[in-house]
Structure 1
Amino acid sequence: MSHSPGRARRSWYFYDWANSAFVTTTQTVLFAPYLTVLARRAACPEAPEGCTRPLSVLGLPVAPGSLALYTITVATLLAALLLPFVGALADRTRHRHRLLACFAWVGAGAATAMVALGGDRWWLGVLLVLVAVVSLICSMVVNDALLCEVSAPEERDAVSSRGWAAGYLGGFLLLALNLLLVSTPGTFGLDEEWAVRVSLASAGLWWGLFTIVPVVGLRHLPARPVLDLAAAGPGERYSPAAPVRQLVTTLRGLRHHPQVLRFLLAYLVFNDGIQTVIAASSVYGQEELGFSSAQLLTTVLLVQAVAFAGALVFGRLAARFGAQRTITGGLGLWVVVVLAAFAVPRGAFPVWLVLAALIGLVLGGTQALSRSLFSRLVPVGAEAEYFSLYQAGERGTSWLGTLLFGLIAQLTGSYRPALVALLAFFVVGAVLLARVDVPAGVQQARRGVNPVR
């Protein structure tokens, strides 16, 4: 069968659709509260409710309520360490969709196995989420690199935006179904805990089944030329050390791509602000504004639904104004979001929902266009390695904003000044982004991994 660019792009969209179900249902909503329940049972079997007794994890005392946060942190840092090697491997792979399938199905299998959680088996939850999250992040590096294969540079803003939109829509649909299941378990013949376990498994099944679409649809992409295979000796081409050598070469070659470094620095700063707003929104809404869990879940669904449209809108704006200007405008909207959140009166849920809609509008757009803009700056032939640096940097620094937020909240006794402090990430990020010379970066990227000969 001949290669069809349109079919390849449509297939590629489905991986965002597939993995977002796990991100939304498991990572964002259900896993942390349920793991906390299991940890409390293990720490205080006689009275798990409100248990404050520490749990022994590898000989270290861990509060049951903190176990999920520590687990996600370890998974993220572990993935950040592995990503450069994953990128090096992906750039030496002629058919990247096969590598995508490996990571995705390992992660989906671990996510589906969460149906076995129960009792006081917190250790199983920790193990499964470590495998799932690390596999997810590794698969995203490969998927981001595939963007460069399914679209030309001038198409990537629109293609990346449609992928993000598909992800938000898929995450919204499964989360809505799972919230119905968790809210009314008796209707389906389940108790509340089994409803959570089935919902966790459904996210893994969704991820695994819909991954079939890109794996099948991308199999007709032409085999990639791997730049350094010809130069390597026969015994070196597929040696385990080859990706490491390639990674070292790429890191040294970064000095020839200054616009990549400038963009990465800007992205790491403003994305840290975005991730902190997302991570802190629930605790801010609950503790500072007094909203219930049901109201916060409604907020999550609204953000997901609006983000679907927001990603598409930002894709159209980028076609008219350019990705760099559109991202900068989005950062301006993030400043408005933070200031508006600071001013929301306690208990004003309708105002909070308007703010959530604004977050959804700007959330998908800034992230989608950041991916597509970066894809035009990375040198031809090393896409996966550079996207591994993009993901590794994002994961490795995404704790700075939450640390600042927590410290200021602790020192002032209020979440409102902590929220305002996040303005610095968006302002500084916008200033750094303005220093990126995109046309020069695109020209350097077209000349390959070492434009200075």
Structure 2
Amino acid sequence: MPSRSSQDALESAIVETEAEPNTASLNSKKALWAFLVLCYSTGPVSSMVASYVPAAILSAANLLGHQQGSDKPCPRRGGNITCLVRFGGGEIDYASFTLYLKAISRTTEGVVAIFTAGVADYSNYRKTMMIASIVLFGALALPFAALTGDSYSQLTALSVLYCLVVTVQGVYTIIEGSYIPIFMRATGWFQETPIAPVAPGRQGSSPWTTGVSVSVLAMVSSNLGALTALIIGVILVYGRGSASSGGFDNYFLAVTIAGCITIVFALVGHFLLPSVQGKELRPGENVLVLPIKGWFRLLRDAPHYSEAFKLCIGWILWNTGYTNHLTLMTALFLEVTGFSSSSGVYSVWSFTSVIFACMGSLGFLYLYPRLRLPVKSWAYLFLAVNSLCVLWGCIGISNAVTIGYKHQVEFWVAQVLFMSTSSALRSYNRALYSSLIPKGFEAQFFGLEVTLDLATGWINPLVMGAIQDRTHNLRFPMIPNLLLMLVGTVLYFLVDIPKGIEEAKLTRL
């Protein structure tokens, strides 16, 4: 188990060194701004996929469903009456609809991630792969404006588009994440010893500072893109009114506009971001079999990168609990506030969610160098707040308990706490993980995070959907999310960061 002194040592483990030749082009403000433009481009559609699209699907499922045992329509507010909707060859609880879609989309995302991560490190077209995936990401958002009808065919079309967008999102997420360690190596890398003092006056240019800064600024830039799209959504909702009975016609128009913004800024970023040279293929290797061979080598050498794997698995468990809790909170918020009357309220909810996420990441960037806490203390703080927010929902499972996301004010307080700490933890994870990745395998290791998520990523929504089908209480499915976060916290505790840095220097793959 890592000692306290070994964790404190990370604060003095980094000094400036010469930039590596193949990454030197990224050691400039122009390259950073170009990267941030690309991160901004992903924000508009990403925010729509995280908020408006699932809410619209949930609203449509509620509108098309019927009360159990009768043909009566489902209530648009309150969750005491069981509401069933067609799914495949049977019927399920309407609130399970998005959970099952999430399970399907995470599975396809993981499969595509295997190929992406397997070839991206070898390609001199890493930038082109990322741009192409972002443009496709935006293009898939364009048809949403036409899907405003209230029919099962429209619901099916929404569901298919949602799964496709989430799948493509996994591609650019991997390649975007792989740029963080590349930016760090453009600044320099770690000295031979993890206890070397930081050079006086040079902390601002250290690789760790660079990694944290790039990770946070990338997150904030994406959130600014999200705010742009959400502002458009708020203007449309309050300015145009609602034409469809579900009240999401304006949201769909906002999704389409977000797709246009994503495509335009992705093309701008393509001309600004420098290209990075990939690894050379080994003699006799075929690019088509690289993904399979690469994953076999990675799993074979897992013991040599034990700390990176422990952090990766802990990150995955937390991220699964985090993303699925957001899905449940969306459904619960709409259920408590009402589908018909909450169109404007939900716009504000989505808008403030991104604002608090920006505040959390920027707060971490500001406080980290000033508080001088042991580096893992930040993870413990963020994880504790996240777990508390999920636990609060579990407390409300009993009808006899009057708290547990049963009043609007609880949602707003939880949003401040949950979104700020979650965003900060995501920035933290990407920077810390980058410091444990061996040179030349950036996309492979960031793809590992997505690929290993194949297990928890689709199983957990499936489990939550089954729980919801049987309990018809959106607070019950929060229990597995809480368990995932607690187990993830244990793995964070077991990670020895200085040891992981040393492991990353010895490239064995």
TM-score class, shorter-chain normalisation, is 0.7 to 0.9
Q: Distance in 2 between matches of 1:340 and 1:63?
A: 26
SS of 2:140's equivalent in the other structure is helix
Q: Distance in 2 between matches of 1:439 and 1:149?
A: 19
Q: Distance in 1 between matches of 2:338 and 2:160?
A: 34
Of residues 373, 381, 384 in structure 2, which corresponds to 1:321? 373
Instruction: State which drifts further: 260-269 or 407-416.
Output: 407-416
Q: Distance in 1 between matches of 2:61 and 2:482?
A: 37
Q: Distance in 2 between matches of 1:433 and 1:334?
A: 14
Instruction: State which drifts further: 287-296 or 319-328.
Output: 287-296
SS of 1:184's equivalent in the other structure is helix
Question: Structure 1 73/14 Cα, relative in aligned 2: closer, same or farther at 3 Å?
Answer: farther
- Corresponding residue for residue 433 of structure 1: 492
Question: Structure 1 137/349 Cα, relative in aligned 2: closer, same or farther at 3 Å?
Answer: same
Question: Structure 1 39/418 Cα, relative in aligned 2: closer, same or farther at 3 Å?
Answer: closer
- Corresponding residue for residue 19 of structure 2: none
- Corresponding residue for residue 382 of structure 2: 330
Contact residue 185 and residue 192 of structure 1 kept, 8 A: no
Sequence identity percentage: 19
Q: Distance in 1 between matches of 2:41 and 2:119?
A: 23
Query: How far apart are 1:42 and its partner, in Å?
Result: 12
- Corresponding residue for residue 303 of structure 1: 353
Question: Structure 1 192/54 Cα, relative in aligned 2: closer, same or farther at 3 Å?
Answer: closer
Contact residue 65 and residue 85 of structure 2 kept, 8 A: no
Structure 2 counterparts to residues 251-266 of structure 1, below 5 A? 251-266=299-314
Structure 2 counterparts to residues 48-447 of structure 1, below 5 A? 57=88, 60-61=89-90, 65=94, 68-119=98-149, 120=151, 121-122=153-154, 123-152=156-185, 153-154=207-208, 155-185=210-240, 194-218=249-273, 220-221=274-275, 223-227=276-280, 229=281, 231-233=282-284, 236-237=285-286, 239-287=287-335, 293=342, 294-319=344-369, 320-321=372-373, 323-340=375-392, 342=395, 344=403, 348-394=407-453, 396-399=455-458, 402=461, 419=478, 422-447=481-506
Runs of 5+ consecutive residues of structure 2 not aligned to the other structure: 1-23, 76-82, 186-206, 397-402
Query: How far apart are 1:12 and its partner, in Å?
Result: 1.5
Contact residue 14 and residue 214 of structure 1 kept, 8 A: yes
TM-score (norm 2): 0.74
Contact residue 265 and residue 432 of structure 1 kept, 8 A: yes
Aligned length: 436
- Corresponding residue for residue 197 of structure 2: none
Query: How far apart are 1:322 and its partner, in Å?
Result: 5.1
Q: Distance in 2 between matches of 1:213 and 1:345?
A: 45
Aligned partner of 2:351: which letter?
A: L
Query: How far apart are 1:110 and its partner, in Å?
Result: 1.5
Query: How far apart are 1:82 and its partner, in Å?
Result: 2.1
Question: Structure 1 193/225 Cα, relative in aligned 2: closer, same or farther at 3 Å?
Answer: closer
Query: For each residue in 1:165-210, what CA deviation from the matched residue of structure 2 results, as whole angstroms up to 9, or x when unmatched?
Result: 222222123112213213432599xx96653432221121122112
Question: Structure 1 276/39 Cα, relative in aligned 2: closer, same or farther at 3 Å?
Answer: closer
Query: For each residue in 1:336-357, what CA deviation from the matched residue of structure 2 results, as whole angstroms up to 9, or x when unmatched?
Result: 3345554747764345323221
Q: Distance in 2 between matches of 1:432 and 1:385?
A: 21
Question: Structure 1 203/73 Cα, relative in aligned 2: closer, same or farther at 3 Å?
Answer: farther
Instruction: State which drifts further: 60-69 or 88-97.
Output: 60-69
Contact residue 380 and residue 449 of structure 1 kept, 8 A: no
Q: Distance in 2 between matches of 1:415 and 1:115?
A: 29
Q: Distance in 2 between matches of 1:415 and 1:69?
A: 11
Query: For each residue in 1:145-169, what CA deviation from the matched residue of structure 2 results, as whole angstroms up to 9, or x when unmatched?
Result: 1222223441111210111122222
Query: How far apart are 1:365 and its partner, in Å?
Result: 0.3
Query: How far apart are 1:128 and its partner, in Å?
Result: 3.1
Query: How far apart are 1:75 and its partner, in Å?
Result: 2.0
Instruction: State which drifts further: 273-282 or 24-33.
Output: 24-33
Quick check: which one's helix share is greater?
1
Query: For each residue in 1:7-51, what CA deviation from the matched residue of structure 2 results, as whole angstroms up to 9, or x when unmatched?
Result: 2122212333222221222342235525864997799xxx99659
Question: Structure 1 442/286 Cα, relative in aligned 2: closer, same or farther at 3 Å?
Answer: same
Instruction: State which drifts further: 198-207 or 309-318.
Output: 309-318
Q: Distance in 1 between matches of 2:405 and 2:323?
A: 23
Query: How far apart are 1:137 and its partner, in Å?
Result: 1.1
Q: Distance in 1 between matches of 2:478 and 2:46?
A: 24
Structure number with higher relative contact order (C-alpha < 8 Å, ≥ 6 residues apart)? 2
Q: Distance in 2 between matches of 1:337 and 1:272?
A: 15
Query: How far apart are 1:70 and its partner, in Å?
Result: 3.5
Aligned partner of 1:211: which letter?
A: A
SS of 1:352's equivalent in the other structure is helix
TM-score (norm 1): 0.83
Query: How far apart are 1:131 and its partner, in Å?
Result: 2.9
Question: Structure 1 281/71 Cα, relative in aligned 2: closer, same or farther at 3 Å?
Answer: closer
Aligned partner of 1:8: which letter?
A: A
**Aligned-residue CA RMSD (Å):** 3.6
Contact residue 115 and residue 200 of structure 1 kept, 8 A: yes
Runs of 5+ consecutive residues of structure 1 not aligned to the other structure: none
